[in-house]
Chains A and B, each alone.
Chain A
């Protein structure tokens, strides 16, 4: 509502200032191309006179008075539609009936104002706009997403950030990058999404498995990263962002350039480079925590209303140092690390990245074609290719010093198609098919037994989602999806491990042969058939209030790590063991959203409950002794789990300049089979922000306080025998660190030049330089989290 008031005010001002002498009038209505609903707040601009903008009223009606006779070119724009251009001939008066394509969700356009277009009807979801993305452009996808209530992250230091939605991460969170489901070894806790945040136009998060068009196994949720859609006009524009980062003594540069044509052609290029040296905690340098990152993307296409295509290619390469002190040799080192306040290795600041480190390269290519059939709907066909290469380097000695310990190459081809029936205003139906082939190659040249084996995986899926509009603000949605998945692996097992796991009783038929050095070569082949479904209801009586309810049933087949992990993970100094007996996990999630978005103040209250049967999780169970010492054993197990949570956000516009935001998020996870807390559930947190903004140079400044409670509900710690101490000692591997409170500050200002705008932002995080450790940081045993950071950003739009 607020938006309309502002627009009306602007319009009135312009009427008085821009009044002209003639008496001609262009008037008309703007409506949706498909169902003829009127569009409120569409803007009409006369070409060559961009200062004067007219808006449609509540009935979709507009009127441009005081015009002289002649030829005019009009630009009709609505935030949820494709912009239209038309040339008209005015003789005294002219009445127009203008239709706009009002299907933003499939057109991948970014919302700026007005009602948000959403991916689902009734699920919990939220979108980050370009401004927030730019704000976090120098950080990572996971850091940017934490702005959204209910999203946290599982970190390995500050540079490896895995998004966690309502307490769930990894394979339970799908990342959809530019319409392509990322296949970047998301199974590993220390594998972050290989996405350059700066390449995104908008990022939406669906907190749950309700977006069936993207996949049926998103028990945590879906992250949808989209590209901007370009206006059909002859234009050349771009932006460059230069960021200086104090903590890490580095920075990032990102630039993009877009050329569009009136006939629908467009080309966009983007590139970014980031470099940071060792990060710093308040009291010491976090040695070997630097990062080098390169991202580039190219999009080319021709998109018109009835048909179009787009080809995209993106490249992402990152080299990340992992805290030196986190390299441990055995359980005694781990005991020492947990008991010590300081990391065992602190060296002077350096830009060098040495072992342990990881280097990952991701290529993504995509081609998409669409065609609209009048009076019926729209067909999409897409092929995408991904290649993900991961090297992990441990501290090794002798000839192996420069060899990676892990060298995996994951190649994925996906072909998908969907058809959207949207000609009827009462309902919309989308159905589609997907086929995928994936090949994982584990390079034996590492000289280290493979943690993840060679495998081939084929997937096929089919879905249908429907949305009904009952009128009076009531919407109903439902969907169903079937997924078939087959994994065919070739794996070596040590005969002693084979027997210890009890596989000699259940799986002897998959042994191909025994090798000369006491290993079995096996050929595990598993099939999974999974059905997912959703049901939702939304009531939106007016522009301010929304109530929605959603139920999602999701099934997820186990990933390669959960099935096959086997061996000593050197970088983590732990033995990780998968289990061939693991089957799919099933989630039932119900969520409710009550929201009131008023002009003065508003709130959103989102309670949810997720019941997961056969929940797959990794937990420390025991210690195994080898000649190099004792190592904690982490095993994949299945149990029944329950996650209950609540996200609450409030805002208040105290005056036109002052605003406060308040967010609270609570997640409680329980292993209901063993009546024990679940591992790695984020602690409750409260965020309060006060901000001031003024139209003068778009100046704004905000101060945010974030208080993270201590996670009191953690699984029990384990007792292990310490060879050094000669007795059983308590290994506090599950205990959570204390609560903490950090303050951040951000401010920005615009400077307008001839044809460009320079935005200068100053961001300070942890400005009081507080020492703290976070429960969801895997390096919390070894070192404090980041200290104060000051980020200075210059953005030039041209």
Chain B
């Protein structure tokens, strides 16, 4: 009886192959927002980077400098995956599937408007580039959210857009 059990057990447990590694595709680790002042001056970059994806390390947020009061900036956004070597540009994928994506902007304080978003193939908002107005000196926040498969067209709010969040980051900025 036990001998039989032994044969059954032994015959099944000789599998020493290592399982295949899973690298989650379409992982976005990094979002970079570049704000270029319309009347010249230094461009400001806002960056959120999470080097371990869903892992325990929190995304690192950096803002390269302060914004100028009562100015208009041209903004553009890029996405990449820095865990790949060479670094993978995800912006192209977003552009390629532009009708299935949208960037939603939520702003407070000294950032007084985000408008003039670029459009997708159907003429609806996409948001990879935009214009941004600052108000009087002070503090403000800019939240940038990349939504996948949103309801289009929509009112430009998070709840109006729906869909699933591919990337979200909130930047605190100083306007002087």
Mark A residues whose CB is within 8 Å of B.
Answer: 329-330, 381, 395, 397-398, 400, 413, 415, 417, 433, 435, 437, 439, 442, 444, 446-450, 453-454, 456, 458, 460, 490, 492, 494-497, 500, 512, 515-519, 521, 567-568, 575, 624-629, 723-724, 726
Interchain CB contact under 8 A, B19 and A628:
no
Cα–Cα distance between A16 and B51 once the two chains are bound (Å): 92
For the complex with contacts A398-B148, A444-B21, 11 further pairs of A-B residues with Cβ separation under 8 Å are A397-B149, A415-B4, A437-B8, A437-B13, A447-B22, A449-B22, A496-B52, A518-B83, A519-B21, A625-B58, A627-B59
Given contacts A329-B165, A575-B54, contact A627 B29 (CB under 8 A): yes
Chain A residues in 8 Å Cβ range of B25: 400, 447
* Cross-interface CB contact of A456 among B13, B149, B170, cutoff 8 Å: B13
Is B140 in contact with chain A by the CB < 8 A criterion? no
Chain A residues in 8 Å Cβ range of B54: 449, 567-568, 575, 624, 626
Is B24 in contact with chain A by the CB < 8 A criterion? yes
Cα–Cα distance between A785 and B58 once the two chains are bound (Å): 37
Chain A residues in 8 Å Cβ range of B59: 625-627
Chain B residues in 8 Å Cβ range of A417: 1
Chain B residues in 8 Å Cβ range of A629: 165, 168
Given contacts A398-B97, A435-B9, A497-B56, contact A517 B23 (CB under 8 A): yes
Interchain CB contact under 8 A, A496 and B148:
no
List residues of B (23-54) whose CB comes within 8 Å of A's CBs: 23-26, 28-29, 31, 48, 50-54
Given contacts A398-B26, A496-B56, contact A515 B21 (CB under 8 A): yes
Is B86 in contact with chain A by the CB < 8 A criterion? no
Chain B residues in 8 Å Cβ range of A726: 141, 170
* Cross-interface CB contact of B31 among A435, A521, A627, cutoff 8 Å: A627
Chain A residues in 8 Å Cβ range of B57: 496, 500
Interchain CB contact under 8 A, A500 and B8:
no
Interchain CB contact under 8 A, A439 and B22:
no
A-B complex: 9 closest residue pairs judged by Cβ atoms: A435-B5, A500-B56, A496-B52, A496-B55, A444-B20, A494-B55, A454-B19, A568-B54, A397-B148
Chain B residues in 8 Å Cβ range of A439: 12, 15
Chain A residues in 8 Å Cβ range of B26: 398, 400
Interchain CB contact under 8 A, B29 and A449:
no
Interchain CB contact under 8 A, B169 and A627:
yes
Q: Report the minimal beta-carbon distance from A627 to chain B, rounded to whole angstroms.
A: 5
Cα–Cα distance between A415 and B26 once the two chains are bound (Å): 45
Q: Report the minimal beta-carbon distance from A268 to chain B, rounded to whole angstroms.
A: 28
A-B CB contact pairs (8 Å), 9 listed: A397-B149, A398-B26, A435-B5, A435-B6, A447-B22, A447-B25, A492-B21, A495-B52, A723-B170
Given contacts A500-B56, A519-B21, A627-B168, contact A381 B1 (CB under 8 A): yes
Contact with A along B129-171 (1 / 0, CB 8 A): 0000000000001010000110000000010000011111110
Cα–Cα distance between A624 and B107 once the two chains are bound (Å): 24
Residue on B nearest A457 in the bound complex, by CB: B13
Chain A residues in 8 Å Cβ range of B5: 415, 433, 435, 460
Is B89 in contact with chain A by the CB < 8 A criterion? no
Interchain CB contact under 8 A, B15 and A456:
yes
Is B120 in contact with chain A by the CB < 8 A criterion? no
Q: Report the minimal beta-carbon distance from B169 to chain A, rounded to whole angstroms.
A: 7
Chain B residues in 8 Å Cβ range of A446: 22
Given contacts A448-B24, A453-B19, A458-B13, contact A624 B56 (CB under 8 A): yes
Interchain CB contact under 8 A, A435 and B100:
no
Q: Report the minimal beta-carbon distance from A264 to chain B, rounded to whole angstroms.
A: 25
Is B87 in contact with chain A by the CB < 8 A criterion? no
Is B122 in contact with chain A by the CB < 8 A criterion? no
Chain A residues in 8 Å Cβ range of B166: 627-628
Chain B residues in 8 Å Cβ range of A490: 18-19
Residue on B nearest A395 in the bound complex, by CB: B164
Cα–Cα distance between A343 and B22 once the two chains are bound (Å): 34
Residue on A nearest B83 in the bound complex, by CB: A517
Chain B residues in 8 Å Cβ range of A496: 51-52, 55-57
Chain B residues in 8 Å Cβ range of A627: 28-29, 31, 48, 50, 53, 59, 166-169
Interchain CB contact under 8 A, B12 and A413:
yes
Given contacts A433-B1, A442-B19, A444-B22, contact A330 B149 (CB under 8 A): no
